[in-house]
Structure 1
């Protein structure tokens, strides 16, 4: 058997998501957080979103077929899937923590709002606008093209899996968006147009499907969040999680 479905989960709202939204609204230059990116935890709302996600995964029968679980090494992604599986009463498959699923690295722009980038790194801002989001690599960070390279490597490993029919992935907005781009063979204009009209919400579910190894992937569902709207304790949020997503040409 081979993997014919990939279910991509974005982590629930994190404390850094909340801090970034607060800083942007205040016109601040710096986002005040208490943890390095890898250690940022979920907010209380993010925990509730994860529970609602778990109920949705159970209702959809995520483990009706053999499942593999791959997770970002970042805490917020690991918390999300752990809470979801427990809340849904689901058995946890063997968990593979893979560094290629980490969030996009922003280098010198990390922890800066859009105002902070303009004021502190005006030359970098000009480079970003000239090159565009797809190719711009901030000093010490990654472009979207860089993230896609590591995801192409990851998807080769997916083809080598023998046994599971379904791969459940818990990661980040950029990883979800760019996995879709790789699987659908979207070039720069196509992915930028898709990103302009689509966002990856916290605790959302995106599904890709193919008939067999080597067959083309199709996008069955993108950023589904109905489970959050139906939950009395959760709500839909669309924090970008990053300061420069989608709004940059």
Structure 2
């Protein structure tokens, strides 16, 4: 086997920034009250609960469906997610692998625009707001930041290493929605414009699972942004738009 047996990508649980951005948008204001670095944003109470639910769900899965190797973004919210997942499973008698930290799995780097809401960008960097509108979300490169092509290059390198080092094993990646989008771009050979349409229909929810399985020498999508472990409903069907 020349790839991992399964690749499951988990978006981190809801963060305090997710809450603050949503609240600022709902109130139509620019400021969100956040300080510090994006890398240090932690989980919200709901995010901790989501990670707990995922840990409980994993503890109920057969051993041959649980991860054999876990790799995680260095960002606090991602590390907290897996720690809580693993601790919850351990409290139920199930041992999950510790997470290996990989700096290439960080969220999309926004440079000078880090942790700025759209209204904050419009007020402080009006020229950048115009550039973003003109170039589009995926092609736009903020000052000191990345385009999605840059994110995809990082994720490609991670996937290559995982396939080389962990071929035939079940691997979980705990990271960010940008990493999920980059993985779909690479593994499903989908243009970013197509992914924009898919994500508009099926958002990459916090603690959702995107899973691939080995088939005929490649990784095929099994489910996208699934939240069964959070809702008790049915898995989200694979989207091949």
Would you call these one fold, judging by a TM-score over 0.5?
Answer: yes
- SS at structure 1 position matched to 2:218: coil
Corresponding residue to 1:144 among 136, 148, 155: 148
- SS at structure 2 position matched to 1:133: coil
Offset of 1:83 from its aligned partner? 0.8
Corresponding residue to 2:227 among 225, 228, 234: 225
Matched, 1:175 2:184: no
Q: Deviations over 1:127-183 (max 9, x none)?
A: 112111121101111111110111111111012124651111111111112212211
Residues in 1 aligned to 2:63 and 2:228: alpha-carbon distance in whole angstroms: 16
Matched, 1:118 2:119: no
Number of positions where the alignment pairs a residue of Structure 1 with one of Structure 2:
229
Matched, 1:9 2:3: no
Contact 1:134 1:143 (8 Å CA) reproduced: yes
- Identify which range, 111-120 or 218-227, moves more after superposition: 111-120
Offset of 1:77 from its aligned partner? 0.6
The residue that corresponds to 1:32 in the other structure is: 33
Normalised to the residue count of structure 2, the TM-score between the two structures is: 0.87
Offset of 1:28 from its aligned partner? 2.2
Residues in 1 aligned to 2:195 and 2:214: alpha-carbon distance in whole angstroms: 20
Offset of 1:73 from its aligned partner? 0.3
| Mapping of residues 9-158 of structure 1, within 5 Å | 9-61=10-62, 64=65, 67-89=68-90, 90-158=94-162
Residues in 2 aligned to 1:186 and 1:62: alpha-carbon distance in whole angstroms: 33
Residues in 2 aligned to 1:201 and 1:34: alpha-carbon distance in whole angstroms: 24
- Identify which range, 104-113 or 77-86, moves more after superposition: 104-113
Normalised to the residue count of structure 1, the TM-score between the two structures is: 0.84
Contact 1:15 1:40 (8 Å CA) reproduced: yes
Offset of 1:13 from its aligned partner? 0.9
Structure 1: tracts of 5 or more residues without a match: 232-249
Alpha-carbon distance change, 223 to 62 in structure 1, aligned in 2, over 3 angstroms: farther
Runs (4+) off by over 6 Å = none
- SS at structure 1 position matched to 2:130: helix
Alpha-carbon distance change, 166 to 28 in structure 1, aligned in 2, over 3 angstroms: same
Offset of 1:224 from its aligned partner? 1.2
Residues in 2 aligned to 1:131 and 1:80: alpha-carbon distance in whole angstroms: 33
Q: CA RMSD in A?
A: 2.1
